[in-house]
Homo-oligomer: A and B are copies of this chain.
């Protein structure tokens, strides 16, 4: 089987964006966020007009938003993958989004390319963004392996700068489970080289879902 065919057959562990409804609007919002950074203060783009157009969209959406308590219940209904988190969520414009899939060896893996919104040092990914991606991916690796929980401790080691605008592979695997203590590790690699590694201690407990 080709690597591409193998990847297609891996169980997808994160929500699949659909091209209709809110996911399409969120994908467009991601373009806006990146383009605002790319355009910068270019006055030819008439930013006051852009602001007015975006405010009009926000006004429209807010007028159709349910009470927050209702939305929280709806958002957390069902037992499937989340659609709103800031790493993999197709409904969250902050998320790249990273798509994660299970591998036969028990680890999970996803590939993404990060642009200007995720920049730290010039031309490189922000160290805190790498921490965000790894914390989330370690959590999904726990779900994939079995027992999962909440982060108690997370240690990140930065081996080399992580490039913007190039494919990054994010992987994680559950290493051990000892009572309620779960240990999980992961990396971000670029071109086969480890940029950031993470080791996390998770405690098997969950915040109750709103009802």
Q: A residues engaging B (CB < 8 A)?
A: 20-22, 24-29, 31-33, 35-45, 47-48, 50-58, 60-62, 64-66, 68, 71-72, 74-76, 84-87, 91-94, 116-124, 126-129, 131-136, 139, 150-158, 161, 206-210
Which residues of the partner chain B approach A120 to less than 8 Å between Cβ atoms? 85-86
CB-CB under 8 A for A124 and B207, given A84-B37, A119-B85, A158-B150: yes
Q: A25, B50: Cβ atoms under 8 Å?
A: yes
Which residues of the partner chain B approach A72 to less than 8 Å between Cβ atoms? 122-123
Q: A42, B66: Cβ atoms under 8 Å?
A: yes
Contact of A127 among B27, B32, B122, B135 (CB under 8 A): B135
CB-CB under 8 A for A35 and B65, given A51-B28, A136-B126, A158-B150: yes
Q: B55, A28: Cβ atoms under 8 Å?
A: yes
CB-CB under 8 A for A135 and B124, given A53-B53, A61-B32, A91-B36: no
Contact of A29 among B22, B36, B127, B206 (CB under 8 A): B36
**CA distance in complex: A62, B115 (Å):** 14
**CA distance in complex: A21, B68 (Å):** 31
Q: A150, B122: Cβ atoms under 8 Å?
A: no
